Structure 1
Amino acid sequence: MSIGFLDSEDAARAWIGDAFAPTPDQWKRLEQFIELLIAENAQQNLIAASTIPTMWVRHIADSAQLLSFDTRDGDGLWIDLGSGAGLPGLVVAILSARPMLLVESRKRRCDFLRNVASELGLSHVEVVEAALERIEKRPAATISARAFAPLDRLLDLSARFSTESTQWLLPKGRNAVKELALLPQPWQRMFHVEQSRTDAESQILVGRGKIAAKQRGKR
């Protein structure tokens, strides 16, 4: 089945409306998040300035589409690795009630994430300011990461948070198939490739399962 790409801001907003039926309050929070993100981008480099005119496509819908691939149906902790500008973590938190853990090692970005969560009343969001290696182990229902690390390192670092039912949602741009092919076979079999709705040349790795320590480094 062919996919309809979101090629305008109006198309992105319409798709979000159809896919998630946001309440008026959720629409307002999305708008406020965009305003806060643009304002903060003048202080620290969170997103490319060239993407600001297409915020709804490049950042909001691009993040929200991960929620559309999640099959956990509102169940369990969602961990967003290297959350940075809150993409996709804060967008998912606005559109759902999922408990959300945003992992970010840079203080200024963590300050921004906490400020947005407070401003928007997202009480189900927790921000952890630390390298992933230093975070206490906890089971994740869903793990996402947007531009966090090469795929093999991403999986190795986050393996201890995974369970047999963990859902993995990993946007990997144009390199998704290439990065997947370089993984050990047990990891490869966990994933399939989905086409991004916001970029014809980008793909998302979607998987389910536990990354076992004994799989590491084995082909």
Structure 2
Amino acid sequence: MIANEEQARDWLAGRPEMTPEAMERLEKLVAMLAEENERQNLVAAATIPMVWQRHIADSAQLLAHVPRETWNGTKGPWLDLGTGAGFPGLVIAAMRPGHEVLMVESRARRVEWLNRVIEELALPKAQVLGQRLEMVETRTVAVISARAFAPLDKLLKISLRFSTRDTIWLLPKGRSAGQELEALKASVREGFHVEQSLTDQDAGLIVGHLNPKGVKL
């Protein structure tokens, strides 16, 4: 369990994606986040002193559930729903800059912030889709992530059109992970399981696949 900032940075340093360039990008992201948070409420102010644990490592842990052959540039992009301040989308893009990351965010000030970070971190394959998810053009993707975006049943309904049977869903759900998963129909629930979060002993990640054909949510 990652319990503090030092442990978060040590864990990140051990990730295979963590090159010196990736760490430099993350350092810059953290500095930009702290500065921008004084102007708009991107994240809770109380989490800034523990940003490496609460936001950076918390986002980066999702990569551990994605085999490289699944997200290798040939099976579609990583789609991050309701990315907000850029978590996990910006962290994923900073650590894997050679892979396409699409971040859905409809709030204008957040979109402006995300685009500024993308430019500053030189992430040519990261893109912000500045509109509501319902308006985003349908395409198939390799990975779908969503951090505090919507209740699980609603999230699956509105984003099912982006998924194939091979798409990996990575959904940090906090304490409600098990409860939300249990509330799904058995035919839907069987494709998912809950993983323990590395950054919060009370939180879980819903991980799995969903076959969009014949599924009734």
Fold shared, TM-score > 0.5 on shorter chain: yes
Aligned with 2:34 (options 25, 32, 38):
38
Is 1:78 the counterpart of 2:78 in the alignment? yes
Point out 4+ residue stretches in structure 1 off by more than 4 angstroms.
Answer: none
In structure 1, the residue corresponding to 2:104 is in which secondary structure?
strand
TM-score, structure 1 as length reference: 0.94
Partner of 1:48: 44
Q: 1:20 Cα deviation (Å)?
A: 2.7
Counterpart CA distance in 2 for 1:157 and 1:106 is: 18
Where does the alignment leave 5 or more consecutive residues of structure 1 unmatched?
A: none
In structure 2, the residue corresponding to 1:157 is in which secondary structure?
helix
Q: 1:98 Cα deviation (Å)?
A: 2.0
Per-residue CA deviation, residues 160-198 of structure 1 (Å, 9 max, x unaligned), is 000110000000000001000111222101101100000
Q: 1:21 Cα deviation (Å)?
A: 4.9
Aligned with 1:14 (options 10, 17, 34):
10
In structure 2, the residue corresponding to 1:177 is in which secondary structure?
helix
In structure 2, the residue corresponding to 1:215 is in which secondary structure?
coil
Partner of 2:54: 58
The answer to whether the Cα contact below 8 Å between 2:142 and 2:166 also exists between their aligned partners in 1 is: yes
The answer to whether the Cα contact below 8 Å between 2:71 and 2:77 also exists between their aligned partners in 1 is: no
Per-residue CA deviation, residues 36-85 of structure 1 (Å, 9 max, x unaligned), is 11111111111010011111100000000001111225343100000000
Q: 1:19 Cα deviation (Å)?
A: 1.9
The answer to whether the Cα contact below 8 Å between 1:86 and 1:113 also exists between their aligned partners in 2 is: yes
Where does the alignment leave 5 or more consecutive residues of structure 2 unmatched?
A: none
The answer to whether the Cα contact below 8 Å between 1:33 and 1:116 also exists between their aligned partners in 2 is: yes
Counterpart CA distance in 2 for 1:181 and 1:204 is: 13
Partner of 1:216: 216
The 5 Å alignment of 1:198-217 reads 198-212=199-213, 214-217=214-217
The answer to whether the Cα contact below 8 Å between 2:149 and 2:155 also exists between their aligned partners in 1 is: yes
The 5 Å alignment of 1:128-139 reads 128-139=129-140
> What letter corresponds to residue 154 of structure 1 in structure 2?
L
The answer to whether the Cα contact below 8 Å between 2:103 and 2:129 also exists between their aligned partners in 1 is: yes
> What letter corresponds to residue 58 of structure 2 in structure 1?
D
Range moving further from structure 2, 63-72 or 140-149: 63-72
Counterpart CA distance in 1 for 2:43 and 2:151 is: 19
Determine what percentage of the aligned residue pairs are the same residue: 48
TM-score, structure 2 as length reference: 0.94
The answer to whether the Cα contact below 8 Å between 2:71 and 2:143 also exists between their aligned partners in 1 is: no
